[in-house]
Amino acid sequence: MTVILDTDGMRYIALFESSTGATVRDCIVDRENDRLIFVIKQGEMGLAIGKRGENINRLRDMIDKQIEVVEYSDDVSEFICNGFQPAPIKNVKIIEKNERQLAYIEVSKKDKGLVIGKNGRNIQKVKTLANRHHNIDDILVV
């Protein structure tokens, strides 16, 4: 799937890669929530974050925005789980209904709030990423 980036996204990717050494696959500039969401190459999460979070903290101080990092996976279920970290996801089921791809995620009652996030920001992030990278039309929490 082709992801189209704007100029800001490309600039932030260049800055992230030069600061961390990690490879970025995608960047979402979320102006509404004043954050940047980076999708990084599988296996490079430690490199991206740095010791005790020093890479992320340095970047956050440089650009004065919240930074979230999601590890990419070709496996759609794993990618969705990665997007919700640190919330524990019990199960992900992908189904096709009326020519739409839907992901049903199962979480414990106590983790539902963490999965959805304040004003739905966490689930919206994962919905956007799952659609951009795996053509998932919607994510439903059960």
Here the CATH number for the domain that contains residue 101 is 3.30.300.20
Q: Say whether both 86 and 134 belong to one domain.
A: yes
Range of the domain at 45: 7-71
pLDDT band at 4 (very low <50, low <70, confident <90, very high): low
- pTM: predicted TM-score of the whole model, two decimal places: 0.92
Cα-based distances in Å from 88 to 116, 119, 122: 12, 19, 13
pLDDT computed for residue 5 by the predictor: 72
pLDDT band at 29 (very low <50, low <70, confident <90, very high): very high
Give the integer Cα–Cα distance in Å for 61 and 108: 35
pLDDT band at 8 (very low <50, low <70, confident <90, very high): confident
Q: Say whether both 25 and 66 belong to one domain.
A: yes
pLDDT computed for residue 114 by the predictor: 93
**119 within some domain:** yes
pLDDT higher than threshold 60 for residue 1:
no
pLDDT computed for residue 3 by the predictor: 60
Helix (H) or strand (E) holding 55: helix 54-63
